[in-house]
A and B are shown apart, each in its own frame.
Chain A
Amino acid sequence: MLMNLQRIKMYLTMVTNALLRRKLRMFIALLAVAIGATIISGMITVYKEVPEQMGREFRAYGANLLLLPAGGSTTIQEEKLQSVYQKLQGHEIVGSAPFLYERLKINESPILVGGTDFDMVKKVSPYWQINGAMPSGSGKELLLGYELAEKFQVKPGERIILALGDGSWESPFTVSGIVRTGGKEEQFAYMDLKQMQEIVSKPGVISMAQVSVVASAAELDAFTRQMAAEEPSIHPQTVKQIASSEQTVLGKLQALVLLVTVVVLLLTLVCVGTTMTEVVSERRREIGLKKALGADNRNIAAEFFGESCMLGLLGGILGTVCGYLFAQAVGTNVFGRSLQVSVPIAVMSVVLSIAVTAIATMLPVRTAVKVEPAIVMRGE
């Protein structure tokens, strides 16, 4: 045991000094490994973070989940929404806008009015363009769809009379703003949910809710199945168009990142391989000498692999640190938020660096073990 320890110590002395005392060449090799590891760890971090980050970005394009009444009912009790949110826990809910739709009248013509929570609408549908302002919720204010505003020729700040269909109630409302969305919302009017529930005497009731949640299409599908089993009165429906186009874009982005990673891995392999080949040819004399001193092929191979693994380890650690900084830069500049340190990714990129350098050393080692000891005598 003690004897083996002496041997291991000598082996490490040889391997580390081959690196430390041959600075320039090894520095170049180290740099190659470090750059590879930087890009790989950075890319893997981005690869892992892209869906999460992009998912958040995509939420600007509107709700990806609708909560609709089910089981014969045409409405949902507001208080039930809480349990739905609980089932979504683990996924960030960007916003959830409730809507209660009713038919009312302006100037004797029937229109569809939605009562909603405007703070939530801002979060769920940030793309709504408002000329004027959203209703504040305190006064009697109305947000008019662009088509309705055209039809009734009203501008923000003007007042119109809103009435129930049977004429049992009517009241003047101020048009706080006009909304353009490029969609069917332009045909509707919107007011505060509480006011709406009062007018139509349906307290605590909504027709549906639009939810914007950071989750993939697959996760939403899983959620839908869970809801069907546990909460049959509410039917969640994924907005297929949004979810699937998100998925497509993400898939392409990830494929791109993966491709770059593979290419960089190959480049690192080639680069380290070339350097190690040069190292071997530079050290033919040394290899011959070692063989003349009694080294067998296993000794020679073990020493070169030892050197390359050491390189892989050092370069890997260096590169992983740089890669993390690189990913941080991408995170803050592209997604506007910092990314988390991922221990598994760090370990993986160091291990990958070691593996790549070891693989890159295989061919040079084959050359190295072929060196004949006789060359030392010849003074080649």
Chain B
Amino acid sequence: MSLLKLTDVAMVYGGRVTALEHVNLTVEKGDWLAIMGPSGSGKTTLMNIIGCMDKHTAGQVVLDGIDLNEVTKNELTQIRRDKIGMVFQQFHLIPYLTAVENLMVAQYYHSIPDRKEAMAALERVGLADRADHLPSELSGGEQQRVCIARALINYPVLILADEPTGNLDEKNEKLVMDLFRELNREGHTIITVTHSDKVGQAAKRIVIIEHGHLRDA
């Protein structure tokens, strides 16, 4: 069984704006998919649906054996918590918590905060020495690596990254992409959104989205 299967999915905002239409997509365990397309084509919309942040308006989404049409909003939150790790373009750390505390928040919502494990996750992205710094004291690249560590902390089945390097310089872009490569090699399933060809090429597979329609590259 596929990890993720979208069948004829549509997303219509407010009954008027059609952001996605007839989207079919299958992602296997261990896959690394890059979604590419121009701005406004529906990439983020698609990520929100896959990430259980928003509900599609038509079609079927099956994530890790769960049909998202069958679940309530609360259950959607729970699925998001248990199965998804997310990395955003604008980093999004809680500004008044330190790096390690930001990881522990994700543990807190998931189950139990465990400082040791959070430290280990920071170690793994090479930021153990920055554990007690506030986000404002970290560079953009460092912040994004904290976010990646956070995305991993609850052992998600799927990692979603929307333009993860969109706000980074080349050096940090490489650091972050190396991290993703390593994660994928270890067996993590990843979906990245990007409009950088270089970032796209790192993935195993690329799909193109245009005006809410998906096609293979």
Contact = CB atoms under 8 A, between A and B. Distances in A.
21 contacts: A3-B111, A6-B113, A11-B108, A14-B94, A14-B108, A17-B101, A21-B97, A21-B134, A22-B95, A285-B92, A290-B94, A292-B53, A293-B150, A294-B80, A294-B106, A294-B109, A295-B77, A296-B78, A377-B47, A377-B51, A379-B88
B77 A378 contact: no
Interface stretch (A59-67, A134-142, A244-252, A368-376): A368-376
B104 to A, nearest CB: 6
Interface of A: 3, 6-7, 9-11, 13-14, 17-18, 20-22, 285-286, 289-296, 299, 372-374, 376-379
Interface of B: 44, 47-48, 51, 53-54, 74, 77-78, 80-82, 86, 88-90, 92, 94-97, 101, 104-114, 134, 150, 154, 162
A378 B44 contact: yes
Contacts of A6: 112-114
Contacts of B162: 377
Contact of A21 (B81, B86, B96): B96
Contacts of A294: 77-78, 80-82, 106, 109-110, 154
A296 B77 contact: yes
Q: Is the interface of A mostly helix, strand, loop or mixed?
A: helix
B77 A291 contact: yes
B41 to A, nearest CB: 14
Contacts of A295: 77, 109
A13 to B, nearest CB: 6
A291 B80 CA distance: 9
Nearest to B134: A21
B97 A17 contact: yes
B54 A374 contact: yes
Contacts of A293: 81, 86, 105-106, 109, 150
A296 B95 CA distance: 20
